[in-house]
Homo-oligomer: A and B are copies of this chain.
Amino acid sequence: MTKHFLGLADAMPAEISRLVALARRLKSGAVAEGGVIRGRIFGMVFFNPSLRTRASAEAAMLRFGGHAIVLSPGGDTWRLEYRRGAVMDGDCAEHVREAAAVLGRYCDALGVRTFARMVNEAEDAADVVLHSFAREAGVPVVSLESAMEHPCQGLADRMTMEEKLGMTQGKRFTLTWAPHVKGLPRAVPHSAILAAASAGMYVTIAHPPGYELHPKYLDKAKAWCAAAGTSFTVTDEQLPACRAADVVYVKSWGSPAHYGKPEAQKEDFRRYRGWMVGLEHLAHPKTILMHCLPVRRNVVIADAALDDLRSVVIDEAENRLWTHAAVLCELWR
């Protein structure tokens, strides 16, 4: 059966640990371990735009002698049909069965980027685009962020924590919601809490009422924390949750209650602007500040915090490259 990398929730904590360990070895110069990438082609299909993910994955291939083919069909130029049995006399000119199978003949693995539509929660949870590609491609498929998870980001997050904290076991991870001008998908926070839970950390999530993450990921993170002997907490008191943390991980996301209601989301932006993270959230000299980027300065995080030496966001972004390489090595070995 073809192996895929579709989400951290499908993995075991030990697998995540192994991937991060490999990424760290690749970063420290273990060129031979990356040898399996040489001459291979990674085809990336971006249904939603990307600069960081695309550049880091392409660089990962090139650094180890491989190649990337970047396809950016855009929203309108290449609409795919995903339903079985559809009579395709509408907007979609191709079915995913052919599209994925054909690209799988040209490439050694496919990466797929697709955002949550944030109109219907069940539709997003099904993550149809990603799973259709995985079913039809005939080669390994890697999620480059789907509706529900951003697992390569999660790996980079965990790698960064290991680099900065040394031992992660028993350290305190706080994910805090932050304000934003619009409601964003929950893929990044889902993967982030799984990354932290898999690393043996105490996990706390701070968000305003109504901003719950999806139960599937909450339950999975809770189970991993329980297995590791740590706690898993959700709170709406941001400041103490951050001031107690070794890692303050900042991210904005939209409320599931506001799906399809951008106006309600905007109102919340005004109501919760005070959730912006600043220096006052970083209580300890060794606390680190994380964010997946891009970040809106002085809206999500204040300049003073982002420019503080405890901010590790650039290293975190760099680690996207090394974890992409590790995932592909693992799938191709």
Contact of A63 among B41, B71, B73, B78 (CB under 8 A): B41
Instruction: Jot down 28 A-B pairs with beta carbons below 8 A, ordered by A.
Output: A41-B63, A51-B73, A51-B78, A55-B106, A55-B107, A56-B106, A62-B67, A62-B69, A84-B303, A85-B303, A87-B297, A87-B298, A88-B296, A88-B298, A88-B299, A89-B299, A90-B181, A94-B294, A95-B295, A95-B297, A98-B293, A98-B294, A98-B313, A102-B318, A105-B317, A105-B318, A105-B321, A106-B321
Instruction: Enumerate chain A interface residues (CB-CB to B < 8 A).
Output: 41, 43, 49, 51-52, 54-56, 58-59, 62-63, 67, 69, 71, 73, 77-78, 81, 84-90, 92-95, 98-99, 101-103, 105-107, 181, 293-299, 303, 313-314, 317-318, 321
Contact of A297 among B73, B81, B313 (CB under 8 A): B81
A181 to B293, CA, bound (A): 42
Known contacts A51-B71, A86-B298, A92-B296, then 10 further A-B pairs from the complex at CB < 8 Å, ordered by chain A residue: A49-B77, A49-B78, A51-B99, A55-B106, A58-B69, A89-B181, A94-B294, A98-B314, A105-B314, A106-B318
- Contact A93–B294 (Cβ < 8 Å): yes
Q: Which residues in B have their C-beta under 8 angstroms from that of A98?
A: 293-295, 313-314, 317
Q: Which residues in B have their C-beta under 8 angstroms from that of A67?
A: 62
- Contact B321–A94 (Cβ < 8 Å): no
A56 to B104, CA, bound (A): 11
Contact of A102 among B41, B43, B52, B85 (CB under 8 A): B52
A42 to B89, CA, bound (A): 36
A85 to B95, CA, bound (A): 46
- Contact B41–A62 (Cβ < 8 Å): yes
What is the distance, in angstroms, from A128's C-beta to the closest C-beta of chain B? 16
Q: Which residues in B have their C-beta under 8 angstroms from that of A295?
A: 94-95, 98
Give 4 nearest A-B pairs by CB, closest first: A94-B294, A105-B318, A88-B296, A59-B106
- Contact B86–A55 (Cβ < 8 Å): no
What is the distance, in angstroms, from A92's C-beta to the closest C-beta of chain B? 8
Closest Cβ neighbor of A63 among chain B residues:
B41
Once A55-B106, A62-B67 are accepted as A-B contacts, the answer to whether A89 and B294 lie under 8 Å apart by CB is no
Q: Which residues in B have their C-beta under 8 angstroms from that of A93?
A: 294, 296
A51 to B103, CA, bound (A): 9
A211 to B134, CA, bound (A): 40
A37 to B293, CA, bound (A): 30
- Contact A88–B49 (Cβ < 8 Å): no
